[in-house]
Amino acid sequence: MDKEYLIKKWLADELTDAELEAFKKLDDYDMHTKILEGAQYFKASDVSEISDINDMYVRMENAANAVSEKTNWYRPLLKVAAVFAVLLGISFFFFTDNDSTIKTLANQKLTIELPDASEVVVNAKSILVFNENKWETKREVSLTGEAFFKVKKGSAFDVITKDGKVTVLGTQFNVKNRENYFEVKCFEGLVRVKHGEYTRNLPAGNTLRVIDGNLTFETVNLNNPQWLSNISSFKSVPFYEVINEFERQYDIKVTMNGIDTKRLFTGGFVHNNLQEGLKSITLPLDLTYSIDINNNITLRYNK
């Protein structure tokens, strides 16, 4: 049977018993199930649009109280140990006026130890800036892009982005700041997020996201971000942001012909297999792709 036919039917939960057996016999069955589990793991209905900011924070506090009861439902896309300090290219380190600037390339992740032994894992095409000489009196970093933080307990620790400020005392959290996209996920402890005129606490198990000015709130799996294990995962995120992340992780250009780029996508893709990654982001939306001799990729709807 045709492999893509079986995968599409599996995604739709429409496999017959015979087709299921054929699907399990695919040579890359394990990889497909691990990657495509993301579409079943997430539930888009858990995301709520916030029209009243005060109502959002009331619901945030209620969600924080309930998160311990929900954690058994969640499970990671892949139970793989995160491999830090994956160097797939050359990072740039700058020292200007005692500022240390770390800039990662496409398809690169880098682990940085800050002066207080706090740890930062910087995702692809991101910039992190901090001042080592002032660190004892001012624990502050500037971030453009995405990073995961494990902060040692101590004085206030601030992450400054163009779209907001995150303040913690000691915890684990992820900050993503891309064009028209701001997201903070708290995995441990409590973080304080300031976006515009709003300043609120975000407890563990919660995510605050702003896309094109629209603020949403949702619960989050308490396992570390999947990108630490070379998987990008998304939950009800506009498809254009999925493509932007795909381009960053593979250092390629994707062209979309007649595709609704604001359509919400739930699922994920691996960072180390271009063909499998493309299948993961196209099959769930009934898309097809082509790759030219220059490695340029074009997506379009199946006819």
**CATH number for 271:** 3.55.50.30
CA 142 – CA 129 distance, rounded (Å) = 5
Tokens of 262: 């604001």
One domain for residues 191 and 53: yes
Chain length of the chain: 303
Choice between 64 and 196, residue whose per-residue pLDDT is larger: 196
CA 47 – CA 25 distance, rounded (Å) = 36
One domain for residues 119 and 204: yes
One domain for residues 53 and 30: no
Tokens of 126: 């991101």
Number of domain units in the chain: 2
Dihedral (Cα; 145, 284, 263, 296), 10-degree rounding: 60
pLDDT of 104 strictly over 60: yes
Mean pLDDT in residue range 30-47: 44
One domain for residues 135 and 10: no
Among 114, 113, 120, CA closest to 138:
114
For the chain, the farthest-separated pair of C-alpha atoms sits apart, in whole angstroms, at 67
One domain for residues 126 and 268: no
Mean pLDDT in residue range 181-207: 93
pTM equals 0.70
- Show which of 198, 226, 254 is a domain's final residue: 226
Confidence of residue 21 (pLDDT cuts 50, 70, 90): confident
One domain for residues 121 and 21: no
CATH number at residue 61: 2.60.120.1440
Q: What is the percentage of the chain residues whose pLDDT exceeds 90?
A: 58
One domain for residues 275 and 294: yes
- Show which of 210, 226, 242 is a domain's final residue: 226
Confidence of residue 293 (pLDDT cuts 50, 70, 90): confident
CA 126 – CA 52 distance, rounded (Å) = 32
One domain for residues 176 and 117: yes
Domain containing 110: what range? 46-226
- Show which of 226, 248, 269 is a domain's final residue: 226
In the numeric block, the tokens 């396992």 are attached to: 223
One domain for residues 165 and 276: no
One domain for residues 93 and 190: yes
One domain for residues 32 and 54: no
Tokens of 57: 């924070």
Q: Mean pLDDT score of the chain, rounded to an integer?
A: 79
CA 168 – CA 206 distance, rounded (Å) = 15
Choice between 195 and 32, residue whose per-residue pLDDT is larger: 195
pLDDT of 186 strictly over 90: yes
pLDDT of 61 strictly over 50: no
One domain for residues 110 and 253: no
H helices then E strands: how many in the chain?
7, 20
